A and B are shown apart, each in its own frame.
Chain A
Amino acid sequence: MNIGPDIIDHLAGIEAGSRLDRLRGERPLTRENAQASYRALFEPTDPGRPTLKERFAVAAFVAGLHGAAPALAFYGLQLRETALDDTLPAAVGIATDAGRSQGPGGRYPAGPLSIENTEGNVFQVPEVVQAALGPRLSAAFEHAHLLVYRPRDAAAASLQKLLDAGFSTTEIVTLSQIVAFLSFQLRVVAGLKALAAVPAPAPAA
């Protein structure tokens, strides 16, 4: 298996020996397991399904929905290398542009929290790219959009749509982990980049 560079360091622009490199070095298990999580999802020992192409397509879509430019470039490149031609990457780009929204939102069980309910837009893959994505990825993107922006609207019926599109129970677990892991990874990158941009205050004398 290709060990490769640390993806969070790569996406956050953290260079060896820098302040942020030393800071991450104080939490070696976090750093190591965040990277191992990336590898478990994107360099699996037994890819099976979701296929690598599906995994990178979902990752590129999720990175794009977050407005995370370096991650979109990274996962987009992986997708292009896996997809072999540009039909799928182009379709993912169109779906991403159509899907941009704001979160987190959604509805609570009826009661005192109902005043916090928001009506997020329910994403449907644009008709023009449905054929290029196919039924599995179309369903996966609609579910990923729900998890990214309206996680509290998720319901058993949302999972049934994935089963109907041909995902097994185990494949749904993997798909959910991809979207949820990206939601973590992209935020660690955003947080560390912001931290790197602000000098540490001088220690008190």
Chain B
Amino acid sequence: MTEATLSHQGVNAPAIFTQAELDWFPWLEPLAEKDLTERHWAGLVDAGRAKSPYFMLLARDPDILGTRTRTDKDIFYNVGAGLPRAERELAATATSRFNGCIYCASVHARFAAQYSKRRDDVQRLLDEGVAVDIDPRWNAIIAASVALTATPLAFGPADIERLQDAGLDDLEIADAIHGAAFFNWANRLMLSLGEPSLPA
């Protein structure tokens, strides 16, 4: 079988970082719902994700999709202790801003704004970039996310000390690290398997 990449009519690529809701179009054929086996449904974790072309493309390898999704959910949604959800989303947004994933940044900027009630501060991160000066605690989380995102890896004890100075304890620091690290996973899939578009 010859396989080919997909192209889409009417893609209107966003040229700025935004909190607006964007569409995303895959460059490879997602699975069709009628072709899903039990193993695919298990990989999707939430049946509702069968409506998403992104998850239906990733469902082609259902085992890693399932474990990826469960990792994602625990890092971001398990908020009984540790870093508040808003600041985990801030780490995700800063990472996405630095890697250049306009789609991921839009989703997680909305979450950061919703949970922190600081929409304008989140927008400044999108507009001004990761060198933005917001307040010592947010600056420290943004700086740590950026330091951890650079390649080759150069994250070190000084980055931890800055987080401690901003008042984060071990569990909160570990949560920030996992939030930023996870978006180095997510950004690379979202950026390389399809493209964002402003809604028609």
CB-based contact B16/A195 at 8 Å: no
**A contact residues around B3 at 8 Å (CB):** 163, 168-169
Q: List B152-200 residues whose CB lies under 8 Å from chain A.
A: 152-153, 155-157, 159-161, 164, 169-171, 173-174, 177-178, 180-182, 184-189, 191-193, 195
Q: Does B36 contact A (CB under 8 A)?
A: no
Of the residues B6, B68, B81, B187, contact of A26 by C-beta under 8 Å: B81
Most buried by B among A102, A154, A187: A187
**A contact residues around B182 at 8 Å (CB):** 184
Contact with A along B75-89 (1 / 0, CB 8 A): 100100110000000
Q: Does A84 contact B (CB under 8 A)?
A: no
CB-based contact A177/B28 at 8 Å: no
Of the residues A37, A174, A188, contact of B178 by C-beta under 8 Å: A188
B interface residues, tally (CB under 8 Å): 71
Q: Which of A85-93, A107-115, A124-132, A134-142 contacts B (4 or more CB under 8 A)?
A: A107-115
**A contact residues around B161 at 8 Å (CB):** 198
CB-based contact A158/B64 at 8 Å: no
Q: Does B98 contact A (CB under 8 A)?
A: yes
CB-based contact B159/A194 at 8 Å: yes
CB-based contact A109/B151 at 8 Å: no
**A contact residues around B193 at 8 Å (CB):** 159, 173, 176
Interface size range on A against B: 35 or more
CB-based contact B157/A104 at 8 Å: no
CB-based contact A181/B150 at 8 Å: no
**A contact residues around B1 at 8 Å (CB):** 168
Of the residues A174, A194, A198, A200, contact of B64 by C-beta under 8 Å: A174
**Distance between Cα atoms of A160 and B68 in the complex (Å):** 25
**Distance between Cα atoms of A26 and B64 in the complex (Å):** 23
**Distance between Cα atoms of A44 and B16 in the complex (Å):** 39
Contact with B along A26-45 (1 / 0, CB 8 A): 11011001101101110011
Residue pairs across A and B with Cβ atoms less than 8 A apart, 20 shown, are A23-B171, A29-B71, A30-B71, A33-B67, A33-B70, A67-B153, A108-B102, A109-B15, A111-B15, A151-B99, A152-B100, A155-B27, A160-B5, A168-B3, A176-B193, A185-B181, A187-B181, A191-B155, A191-B180, A200-B164
Q: Which residue numbers of B lie inside 8 Å of A, CB to CB?
A: 1, 3-7, 13-17, 27-29, 57-58, 60-61, 63-68, 70-71, 73-75, 78, 81-82, 98-102, 129, 148-153, 155-157, 159-161, 164, 169-171, 173-174, 177-178, 180-182, 184-189, 191-193, 195
